[in-house]
A = this chain, B = another copy of it.
Amino acid sequence: MARIALLGAGFIGDFYTYSLHALRSQDQVQIIYSRDEGRGKAFAKKHGIPKWTTSMKKAVEDPDADIVVIGLPNNLHLEAVKLAAAAGKAVLCTKPLGRNASEAIKMLEAVEKAGVFNGYLEDLVYPPKTLKALEAVRTGSLGHVTWVRSRETHPGPHSDWFWTKEISGGGVLLDMGCHCIEIARNYIGKDIRPVEVISVADTLVKPIDAEDNALGWVRYENGAIGQFETSWTFRGGMDLRDEVMGTEGTIWINNFLRTGFEMFTAADKKGYVAEKAESEHGWLFPVGDELAELGYYNMFTDMFRAYENNTEPLETFYDGYIVNEIMDACYRSSKSKKWEPVKLKVWRGKDKAKPVSEIREYDKDHIFVKEERMPDGKIKIILKDKKTGKISQVVKKK
């Protein structure tokens, strides 16, 4: 049983608590911190939480809680982590870890120095489909991964603080790019060094200071590319898709809009369909159990099992720090308009990665390039001469 002190009674706090108490869970939030007393009290009542407080410190130090879960606006993560580290408590922090790498590394140092268990709550590497896909990649179903596209777009966040740059630290790149970057990193290999990035972060549509659309490519040492696409101006709901391309295979994952539930309604009623759904009649695409599909159940299961077994969870503060460094490079690139190096102060992966590629001998004189069945049923094979480099083709009846 995990006994939790939850910091933050907003949207993400709600999602976390529903997940923590879901199904036949043995875990329990013991105390909720909100700076607003009424809000904390109402939250506690709604979720059956015994205690509430307006003191972050009090929540962190509560003797009935072993694990601090941070669900606060970005500008409060560092403070909360410091408190938890000081109290010697295990700490799990929502994404992004910091508003920038400089904050993130302080958080990493704080927990490692204090020797407390730490987990980075990157839920989107935990959806059941993603866990299964990562396993397929690990066991070789895709050969070498060459390219990953991870996309998260929706019509914009639900709380005012996201739109205020001083609090959030940035716009959609920081808010959702962190998901996409870490998803791609998992598929490509967390031990492969991210080398450089190019990014576009534009304020195209909304009357705000931060960027409302951001695209980027992260190049890894082995040549693979992690592409992210994020937007706060997408129309039609929440679009959450990943595409993985490897030398031997392909994976396409849709986590939200097309997952096997389609509903048309002409009835004149209003209700919640799914996170960021934009319409209430016509064709709708509800999600079965959002908490499951977004990875929350598996994320907390991994975190608490690791905590109980004294092992590491899949995602730690170290990973959160790497992601912050990549995003910092993206912001630099968006301004300099060129590829910018990712500058890692801490790197625990491989020193050197083998390039992705696939050279296959065809016969003693030729290298295989490809084969294809033509409309007339014949097989055409493209070859390269080992010595001359000349390309030629052979047609087989088969």
Chain A residues proximal to chain B, CB less than 8 Å: 1-2, 11, 14, 23-27, 127-133, 136, 139-144, 146-147, 149, 153, 155-156, 158-161, 163-164, 198, 200, 202, 204-209, 213, 215, 217, 219, 223-225, 227, 229, 231-237, 245-255, 258-267, 269-273, 275-286, 288-289, 292-293, 297-298, 300-301, 304, 337-339, 355-359, 367, 369-370, 372-377, 380, 382, 384, 389-393, 398
Q: How far is the CB of A189 from chain B (nearest CB, A)?
A: 15
The 5 residue pairs across chains A and B that have the minimum distance between CB atoms: A282-B282, A128-B288, A236-B264, A128-B289, A338-B338
Is the CB–CB distance between A207 and B384 below 8 Å? yes
Q: Are B249 and A266 in contact (CB under 8 A)?
A: yes
Contacts known (A156-B370, A245-B235, A297-B23); A281 close to B279, Cβ less than 8 A? yes
Please tell me if the beta carbons of A155 and B259 are within 8 angstroms of each other in the complex. Answer: no
Query: Are A260 and B158 in contact (CB-based, < 8 A)?
Result: no
Residues in B neighbouring A149, C-beta threshold 8 A: 229
- With CB as the reference atom, state the residue of chain B lying closest to A25: B24
Instruction: Tell me the nearest residue of chain B to A129, going by C-beta.
Output: B288
Partner of A398, one of B270, B284, B372: B270
In the complex formed, the residue of B with least CB distance to A247 is: B205
Check B281 against A264 for contact (C-beta < 8 Å).
no
User: Which B residues are CB-close (under 8 A) to A160?
Assistant: 382, 391-393
Q: Which of A264, A280, A359 has the most CB of B within 10 A?
A: A264
Partner of A245, one of B130, B234, B245: B234
Residues of B within 8 A of A206 (CB): 358, 369-370
In the bound complex, residues from chain B placing their C-beta under 8 Å from that of A375 are: 14, 272, 275
A287 to chain B, nearest CB (A): 8
Question: What is the CA–CA distance of A195 and B55 in the complex, to the nearest angstrom?
Answer: 53
> Given A235-B264, A259-B260, do A204 and B357 touch, yes or no (CB 8 Å)?
yes
Which B-chain residue is minimally distant from A356 (CB atoms)?
Answer: B204
- Measured CA separation A232–B382 after assembly (Å): 13
Q: How far is the CB of A304 from chain B (nearest CB, A)?
A: 6
Given contacts A128-B292, A160-B392, A161-B391, 11 further A-B contacts (CB under 8 A): A24-B24, A133-B261, A141-B269, A198-B198, A200-B219, A200-B225, A207-B367, A235-B265, A248-B265, A248-B266, A258-B260
A293 to B217, CA, bound (A): 31
Given that A146-B205, A234-B245 are known contacts, is A24 also in contact with B300, CB under 8 Å in the complex? yes
**Could you say which residues of chain B place their CB within 8 Å of the CB of A25?**
23-26
C-alpha spacing A271/B233, complex, angstroms: 24
CB distance from A222 to the nearest CB of B (A): 9
Contact A283 B236 (CB under 8 A): yes
Find A269's partner among B128, B139, B224, B273 (CB 8 Å cutoff): B139
Most buried by B among A198, A245, A271: A245
Asked whether A223 lies within 8 Å of B249 as measured between CB atoms, the reply is: no
The answer on a CB contact under 8 Å between B248 and A136 is no
Neighbouring B residues of A24 by C-beta, 8 Å = 2, 23-27, 297, 300-301, 304
